[in-house]
């Protein structure tokens, strides 16, 4: 599913209007029908008091049309149209006329002074003040209206985007002047801003409504952003031939663990094996060897010269991929061994955790990583590589810059994990849940990525597949166990079922 900049949304509307063909006012009516049905489904009791705040543009036109359609369903509405400059968009003006003498609607057009209505916890506020075309923070009277809505106990549903929120970059926005929605009903496609953690208080729960924008236009129009769905990945799965053997599915090397951190290597190793690798060797310090051998009997071990940490690089000629970082620690000898390992390796690598933290102290090495590398940082690890970021949008832009400059793929972990390619394209993952925010979850992801790289998957496919199946396994575990008690080990146990779902669609 593509995510377009808000500047492109008008182009999609215009293409649909011209090529369907359909009149602009009729396209608005179609959108309003989808919105009214969604609101009625959420609040089915027609006795629910509803208050509508409509702005002078097409978002306001949507709100007025929704008001009329809800009134036809039997709801009682109080509507406030803010026409301070006495200049409405043509479609907003047309829907204002359609509201004339409509039973069930108390209509108020605000041209000067606004007397706020009483809003209780029983009320539903429909926010149609401003849509995705906003380019600067709200101020003055509109900011006051937003603050009034936010101060009320009413439930708030926003049309397309919460008023005051910009579709992409909100770095210089005024947060107190953005509507806090309980539900945002986005028209056709999501907005990039919906995927950033700091915008959750504004967006709330969000849902997409199909309003019939041209699929041809959506497919033909380029964008750097998309969301990965099951249908995007199923055909990328490599099916196993009848005469396949373990050598057909690659040899992986995992360099992980230090004294007291054997668990990280165990979790990554088990996830790697549960994701189809042919053979796995885990390079461990001497102290962890018996632990790993007992916990992961399917894996082989290669013992480091150090008793307690990674201190000697490994010859990778016999491996198809290397994973390095989980539980590695930051000892001096580990730092030197990591740099040597990178310089010696000629196969794709996945670098995570302490490997990234050590690289942050040697940023020049980022430009000399082997071809086909994937970095899997969480936000703090990413910022150690690119510098402090003000928000998620800046962090994503810095991630794109790093991926392009170092020619690596970056899997930035989070609620919507983003796979960022060297081309600058970003693929947001759609699986996963908050229960996965637990120690060891990232080690599991590293193991999955390593397995796919060793099996010969394309680097971009490996990153996208790993993010998706990791989240899907977490969702399956949460469905059975709930989110609160979820552990990284539970995610691993659900990996076989997740892969089966992905294979079978």
Domain that holds residue 478: 247-504
So what's the pLDDT on residue 101? Answer: 82
Whether residue 232 is contained in a domain is answered as: no
pLDDT over 90 at 158, yes or no? yes
Q: Residue range 139-156: average pLDDT?
A: 98
So what's the pLDDT on residue 39? Answer: 98
Looking at 223, 256, 283, which one is the last position of a domain?
Answer: 223
Give the whole-angstrom CA distance, residue 51 versus residue 43. Answer: 13
Q: Residue range 220-232: average pLDDT?
A: 96
Whichever domain contains 322, its CATH number is 3.40.1190.20
pLDDT tens figures, 99-143:
988 899 999 999 999 999 999 999 999 999 999 989 999 999 999
Same domain, 93 and 131: yes
Same domain, 345 and 275: yes
Whether residue 268 is contained in a domain is answered as: yes
Same domain, 283 and 398: yes
Whether residue 239 is contained in a domain is answered as: no
pLDDT tens figures, 399-445:
999 999 999 999 999 999 999 999 999 999 999 999 999 999 999 99
User: Closest by alpha carbon to 188, among 8, 413, 421, 452?
Assistant: 8
Would residue 428 be called left, alpha or beta, if left means φ above 0 and alpha means ψ between -120 and 50 degrees? beta
Tokens 């690289």 identify what position?
359
Number of domains in the chain: 2
Give the whole-angstrom CA distance, residue 250 versus residue 456. Answer: 7
Tokens 């994701």 identify what position?
275
Same domain, 287 and 343: yes
Same domain, 283 and 174: no
Whether residue 430 is contained in a domain is answered as: yes
Give the whole-angstrom CA distance, residue 316 versus residue 201. Answer: 47
Same domain, 188 and 285: no
Q: Residue range 355-381: average pLDDT?
A: 96
User: Closest by alpha carbon to 436, among 379, 383, 489?
Assistant: 489
In percent, the amount of the chain with pLDDT more than 90 equals 98
User: Closest by alpha carbon to 181, among 140, 131, 118, 115?
Assistant: 131
φ and ψ at residue 392, rounded to 5 degrees: -65, -35
Q: 95-104, 259-268, 375-384, 459-468: which range is least confident on average?
A: 95-104
Whether residue 238 is contained in a domain is answered as: no
In percent, the amount of the chain with pLDDT more than 70 equals 100
Whether residue 233 is contained in a domain is answered as: no
Identify the band that residue 291 occupies on the pLDDT scale cut at 50, 70 and 90. Answer: very high
So what's the pLDDT on residue 62? Answer: 98
So what's the pLDDT on residue 100? Answer: 84
Whichever domain contains 211, its CATH number is 3.40.50.10260
Same domain, 30 and 140: yes
Whether residue 160 is contained in a domain is answered as: yes
Looking at 190, 223, 256, which one is the last position of a domain?
Answer: 223
Alpha helices in 114-247 (DSSP H): 140-151, 200-203, 215-220, 230-233
Neighbours of 279 (CB within 10 A): 19
Looking at 189, 207, 223, which one is the last position of a domain?
Answer: 223
User: Closest by alpha carbon to 70, among 30, 94, 119, 35?
Assistant: 35
Whether residue 230 is contained in a domain is answered as: no
So what's the pLDDT on residue 323? Answer: 98
Same domain, 262 and 356: yes
Q: 129-133, 269-273, 448-452: which range is least confident on average?
A: 129-133
Q: Residue range 167-185: average pLDDT?
A: 97
Same domain, 188 and 255: no
Same domain, 162 and 254: no
């Amino acid at each position: 599913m593509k995510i377009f900049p808000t500047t492109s949304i008008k182009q999609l509307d215009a293409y649909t209007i011209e090529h369907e063909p359909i009149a602009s006012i009729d396209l608005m009516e179609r959108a309003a029908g989808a919105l009214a049905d969604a609101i009625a489904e959420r609040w089915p009791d027609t006795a629910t008091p509803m208050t509508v705040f409509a702005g002078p543009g097409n978002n306001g036109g949507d709100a007025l049309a929704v008001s009329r359609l809800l009134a036809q369903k039997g709801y009682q509405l109080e509507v406030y149209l803010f026409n301070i400059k006495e200049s409405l968009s043509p479609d907003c003006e047309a829907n204002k006329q359609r509201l004339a003498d409509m039973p069930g609607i108390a209509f108020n057009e605000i041209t000067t002074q606004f007397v706020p209505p009483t809003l209780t916890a029983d009320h539903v506020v429909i926010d149609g003040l401003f849509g995705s075309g906003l380019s600067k923070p709200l101020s003055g009277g509109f900011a006051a209206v937003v603050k009034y809505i936010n101060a009320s106990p009413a439930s708030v549903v926003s049309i397309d985007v919460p008023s005051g929120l910009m579709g992409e970059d909100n770095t210089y926005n005024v947060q107190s002047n953005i509507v806090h929605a309980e539900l945002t009903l986005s028209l056709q496609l999501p907005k990039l801003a919906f995927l950033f953690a700091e915008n959750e208080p504004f967006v709330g729960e969000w849902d997409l409504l199909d309003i019939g924008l041209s699929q041809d236009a959506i497919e033909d129009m380029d964008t750097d952003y998309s969301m990965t769905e099951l249908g995007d990945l199923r055909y990328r799965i490599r099916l196993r031939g009848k005469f396949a053997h373990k050598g057909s599915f690659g040899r992986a090397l995992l360099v992980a663990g230090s004294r007291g951190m054997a668990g990280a290597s165990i979790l990554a190793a088990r996830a790697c094996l549960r994701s189809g690798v042919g053979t796995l060797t885990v390079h461990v310090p001497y102290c962890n060897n018996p632990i790993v051998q007992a916990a992961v009997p399917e894996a082989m071990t290669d013992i480091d010269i150090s008793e307690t940490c990674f201190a000697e690089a490994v010859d990778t000629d016999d491996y198809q991929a290397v994973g390095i970082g989980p539980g590695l620690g930051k000892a001096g000898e580990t730092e030197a061994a990591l740099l040597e390992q990178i310089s010696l390796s000629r196969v794709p690598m996945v670098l995570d955790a302490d490997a990234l933290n050590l690289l942050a102290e040697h940023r020049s090495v980022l430009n000399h990583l082997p071809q086909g590398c994937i970095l899997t940082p969480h936000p703090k690890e990413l910022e150690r590589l690119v510098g402090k970021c003000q928000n998620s949008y800046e962090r994503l832009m810095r991630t794109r810059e790093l991926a392009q400059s170092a020619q690596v793929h970056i899997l930035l972990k989070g609620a919507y994990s983003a796979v960022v390619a060297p081309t600058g394209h970003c693929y947001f993952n759609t699986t996963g849940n908050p229960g996965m925010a637990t120690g060891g979850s990232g080690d599991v992801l590293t193991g999955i990525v390593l397995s796919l790289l060793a099996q010969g998957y394309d680097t971009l496919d490996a990153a996208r597949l790993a993010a998706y199946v990791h989240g899907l396994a977490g969702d399956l575990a949460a469905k059975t166990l709930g989110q609160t008690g979820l552990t990284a080990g539970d995610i691993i146990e659900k990996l076989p079922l997740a892969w089966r779902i992905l294979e079978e669609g």
